[in-house]
Structures are given as C-alpha cells and as structure tokens.
Chains A and B, each alone.
Chain A
C-alpha cells in the first residue's frame, strides 16, 4: 500500500558543512506517515527534528535520499512548486508563533488564503470558522502585540488549519507556553486531528506534548532510534 502514505522518506540525508568536515543533521532517515496521524519526533536538541520537518515541509531539500510528500518529490521541486505545495497542503506552527505584527488576528489567519483563488465571503467564512476552532473569534480585530503567548499560538494554529491542509508541521509548539496553555493548544490540535483528519507531525522534547502523541519517533544524531505506537496516556483537559 505504497500509495496510502502521505509522506515517505528514503535514506534521507542532510549535511551541513562545518569547517573541513560536515555535520549530518539527518543521516539516512526512512519514515512513512499515513493520513490522520498524530505523530512526534522527539530527541535531544540537535538530533535533526527541525531539519526533518523543514524538508518534509518543502522549506529545505535533502542532500541525498528522497522525500515524497503527497506524491511530490521534494528534491525535484522548483522554488515555486515548493511554495505551491506549502500553500496548498502544509500548515506550519512555530515555536515563536511567527505572527505578522502589522496585521490583525483576522488578517494573519486570512493571509495564507490570499494566495488561493477564493471569494472574499468564502475567505471570511473560513477565517471565522478557524478562529472559532481556537476560540478566538472575539479577538479577530486585535493585533499580535495585544495577545498573550497562548493566544498567539492559537492564532498560529488557526492560520495553519484555515486552509484545511493535509499536513500540519509543528516545531516545538509549546516551548514558549506555560502548562495550561500547552494543554489547551494540544487539546485543540487533537480535536482538529480527529474532526478534520489532518495529519500532525510534531518536533518536540516536551513531555506534555509526548503524552498526546499516538506515535513517537525518537531521533538520535540524525537517525531514527525508535519508532513506537503509544497508548493514549493523556487526560482530556490536561489538568491532571
């Protein structure tokens, strides 16, 4: 069932020059993901988690090996095709939220839809729907500077989900959040995963996140050390 994989990597290698030698950020990674997964890459800092997400997210290309995402070979995409793939199919959530400061919450969420051919009403419906998913419809007119960290990350989730992408890549999404906000956002993401079937792939070393994962992939020095299915350990609401 080759075709049922949303993401499939083969001998994925990414090196960075370092003086006369090179660093293997990824050193032969073979990982496949099916639609609807709620998976996470865990491992110490520098183990290659971000590098993997960047390549799968078509923000970067591998040094060797192959990454096929939604039938597209990342290493063969032009800059423009890669941008198109991201715009259509991939949502990103960053550790530092990365909201655009001059735009309102509404505009930040709308931003990604602006590149798609869509009527203004349709855009508005989708943006308001996404803001309701993250329970921020009442802050639509606020500027990012007026939001707390938890609210900012929820806007980022809304921005990632608004186009209903197949894949959402979340790199350390809770690293700048307190426990309550972390659980909050994880609850939201899990709910979206269940209701919309969106595949979530995390890069994290946060235990709170790991509790939510249904699949945990441990990376060590750019290699997959362990790839395990998890029992759901978390308690809904997170306040245990």
Chain B
C-alpha cells in the first residue's frame, strides 16, 4: 500500500499542473455521463411514447403487412383468426386496418395511409374517441404534423380516394374531428385515422384487419397461422438502433475532450520522468527497484483519473441531479432526431454507465501514464543520480 500513498503525495505535490489535468479529465467524466444519459433518456422517452400510443404490448401483423413497404398494403389484410378475435372481444387487443389512399389538399395529390381503429378502444393511447360518428360525415383524426403539412385544421373536409377490395376506385369526404399532438411521428405523418367499422364497410373488407395491437403486459400470445406476432423488442429495434447511432455521434465531443486530457497527462508524465531522474536515482539508492518506480510513476499518472472522478462528483452530481429534475426543454419544432420526442428531455442515469465510464477513463489514463515510464526500465541508478537519462 506504500506505492499508492507515495503516488498520491507526489501528485498533490505537483500542484497546479495536476489540478489542470484533473479538471479537464473531470469535464470529460461529466460530459460522458451527461451525454450518454441524455441519449438514454431520449431513447427511453421515445420508446415509452411509442409503446403508449402505438405498440402497447406488441402487435400481430397480417403475414403480408410490412409498414416499410406501402405497396404491399393492398394485400395485407384478412379476417382475424379466432384466438386473436377472442382477445379483441375480451378487450385485450384492438384491430387496425391500413390501406393506401390519396387526398387532394389544396388541389394537390398526396398519398397517405388510411387507418381504421375502433373509436372505443383503450389499448393504445390514441384519442380514438373523437372518431365516434355523430352525423352524416365520417370523422377523421390526424396528427399535428399531418395537419401542418397538408394544411388541414379541425372541422375541415377532405376528400379521400382509395381502391376497395375488388380494386375499384371510390372516394368519400371525411371531416377532421380532431388534431392530436403527439411526439410519435409514425401515428401522425401522412396518415388519417377513421372509424374501423366504417372503413371496413367502404372497403368491402368486413371483419378484416391489417394488424392487431395487444394490451400492455399481455403474457399469453397464441401462435396463429397467417399472422405473425411482433414483440416490443422487434418493434422498438429501430429506435434502439437510432439511439446507438446518436450516442456514437455524440461521443465525438467527449472523445475529443478525453483525448485532450490524455495528451495533457502524457505530457505531464514525460516531463515529470525527465525532470525527476535524480529523484528516481535517490529512490533506487534507497532500495527501490525500477519496477517499483515504474509502478509509482504509472500510478501517479493514473491517479489523475481518481482525483478527476472525485472532482467530477463534487460539481457533477449536483449538476446531473438538477438536470434530471429540470430536464432539457427542446427547442420548438425539434423533429430531426429521427424519432419523436416530448417537449422536455430527461436524462436517464444508470449505475452501469457511471461505473463503466470510470473504469474506461481509469484504464485509458493508466495506459497513457504507463507508456512514458518504459524509459525507466533501462535507467541505470548511477545515470539517474547524475541526472542523466540514456
């Protein structure tokens, strides 16, 4: 235990230089944890929103249904098999019918997705209750993004044209009953929701659906032929991927800072090994082996990260705690994250992240501190005492 004690004393004895290195390193600590937890918070928030409004406990897809290929939608519908229908009847699932359609807002043609959902469903947190038909007009629900891009507002009538099951074109006017604000683009952009039964009638697709959303925490998932169950893991994979991409992109900033800190520590080490040859010679005369001296100098360098972790904790913990309470208000119209976000972002910290960061920084610092000490391995005691280095 003597080496760490001596190392700490030497490090603290070096004064200002040590603290400069420590401060830069502590900034990388805080920034790494801050950014990583922000992205984690982002991902969690986006996932929660998607689960809330779109995925619930997972989805059964008609075997031809592929949300990424609208051209397949024409065939991607069918009568729901009994095991799933039972769940729907018990209120543990809700069907959705999807087809392609066109609208002509402001005289221009636009391809959209027409989606039918039960107005009374409570499986997903979509405000489908506004789809309860009261008069002649077919009520429609759209998201704020759709409203903006198509120039639609509540009360507007819009003509929707589609091909029914037999392939013949048909059209109806629908009235925008509600514009909902949601962070989830995939229930908003380019789509119009209408009552499911009405849609089935118009399309001549009695009892048919494209997908069925099951309630949250449904454990009993029967296997049925012709329909594939898509778990949350599958459905959320693209967000997971996006978060990972963002996280990597965001790392550039702290990798740069970390690099700076490593450079400073490396430089400090080289300098201190150069300047302290006589000290090393004295230590050898007192009975220290070269490997002990290498240990001492390496540890001295590595301890920068220990001090940095302490310093980072001193100002970082209050900051990160405050930040997790206040959150980060996103600028208006921040939509370019690739996934929907609420108005405020909250970082999500994890023990793994903090421990992982500390271990990573400690490891890198140790390596950087060790490299210049290899010179010591060849140092002769007599040369060291004369302040010479071969």
Interface residues of A (CB under 8 A from B): 54, 57, 59-60, 79-80, 83-84, 86-88, 92, 94, 96, 98, 100-103, 107, 111-112, 114-115, 159
Q: How far is the CA of A100 from the CA of B284 in the complex (A)?
A: 12
Contact of A102 among B10, B288, B292 (CB under 8 A): B10
Produce 1/0 per residue, B1-14, CB < 8 A to A.
Answer: 01000100110111
Q: Which residues of B contact A59 (CB under 8 A)?
A: 284-285, 381-382, 385
Produce 1/0 per residue, B354-390, CB < 8 A to A.
Answer: 0000000000000000000000000011100100000
Residue pair B10, A60 in contact (C-beta under 8 Å): no
Q: Which residues of B contact A54 (CB under 8 A)?
A: 381-382
Q: How far is the CA of A103 from the CA of B5 in the complex (A)?
A: 11
Question: With A101-B13, A103-B9, A115-B2 as given contacts, are A79 and B287 in contact (CB-CB < 8 Å)?
Answer: no
CB distance from A109 to the nearest CB of B (A): 11
Q: How far is the CA of A185 from the CA of B159 in the complex (A)?
A: 108
Residue pair B288, A115 in contact (C-beta under 8 Å): yes
Q: Which residues of A contact B10 (CB under 8 A)?
A: 102
Known: A59-B385, A100-B279. 4 other contacts (CB 8 A): A59-B284, A83-B284, A94-B285, A98-B285
Residue pair A111, B9 in contact (C-beta under 8 Å): no
Interface residues of B (CB under 8 A from A): 2, 6, 9-10, 12-14, 278-279, 281-290, 292, 380-382, 385
Residue pair A98, B278 in contact (C-beta under 8 Å): yes
Q: Which residues of A contact B385 (CB under 8 A)?
A: 59, 94, 98
Best-buried of B6, B283, B381 by chain A (most CB within 10 Å): B381
Q: How far is the CA of A159 from the CA of B9 in the complex (A)?
A: 18
Chain A residue nearest in CB terms to B293: A83
Residue pair A79, B289 in contact (C-beta under 8 Å): yes
Contact of A83 among B2, B282, B288 (CB under 8 A): B288
Q: Which residues of B contact A94 (CB under 8 A)?
A: 282, 285, 385
Q: Which residues of A contact B9 (CB under 8 A)?
A: 102-103, 107
7 tightest Cβ-Cβ pairs between the two chains A and B = A87-B287, A102-B13, A59-B381, A98-B282, A114-B2, A83-B289, A92-B285
Contact of B287 among A84, A98, A103, A107 (CB under 8 A): A84
Residue pair B290, A86 in contact (C-beta under 8 Å): no
CB distance from B13 to the nearest CB of A (A): 3
Residue pair B287, A83 in contact (C-beta under 8 Å): yes
Q: Which residues of A contact B292 (CB under 8 A)?
A: 115
CB distance from B321 to the nearest CB of A (A): 36
Q: How far is the CA of A49 from the CA of B14 in the complex (A)?
A: 35
Contact of A60 among B2, B283, B380 (CB under 8 A): B380
Chain B residue nearest in CB terms to A86: B287
Residue pair B14, A87 in contact (C-beta under 8 Å): no
17 contacts between A and B (CB under 8 A): A59-B284, A59-B381, A59-B385, A60-B381, A79-B290, A83-B287, A94-B282, A96-B278, A98-B278, A98-B285, A100-B282, A102-B12, A102-B14, A107-B9, A114-B6, A115-B2, A115-B292
CB distance from A174 to the nearest CB of B (A): 18
Chain A residue nearest in CB terms to B288: A83
Contact of B286 among A60, A86, A101, A107 (CB under 8 A): A86
Chain A residue nearest in CB terms to B381: A59
Q: How far is the CA of A202 from the CA of B109 in the complex (A)?
A: 104
Contact of A88 among B283, B285, B287, B381 (CB under 8 A): B287
Q: How far is the CA of A107 from the CA of B6 in the complex (A)?
A: 10
CB distance from A27 to the nearest CB of B (A): 18
Q: How far is the CA of A238 from the CA of B285 in the complex (A)?
A: 30
Q: Which residues of B contact A79 (CB under 8 A)?
A: 289-290
CB distance from A82 to the nearest CB of B (A): 8
Best-buried of A94, A100, A107, A112 by chain B (most CB within 10 Å): A100
CB distance from B35 to the nearest CB of A (A): 36
Q: How far is the CA of A57 from the CA of B12 in the complex (A)?
A: 32
CB distance from A135 to the nearest CB of B (A): 22
Q: How far is the CA of A84 from the CA of B14 in the complex (A)?
A: 29
Contact of B289 among A80, A96, A98, A159 (CB under 8 A): A80
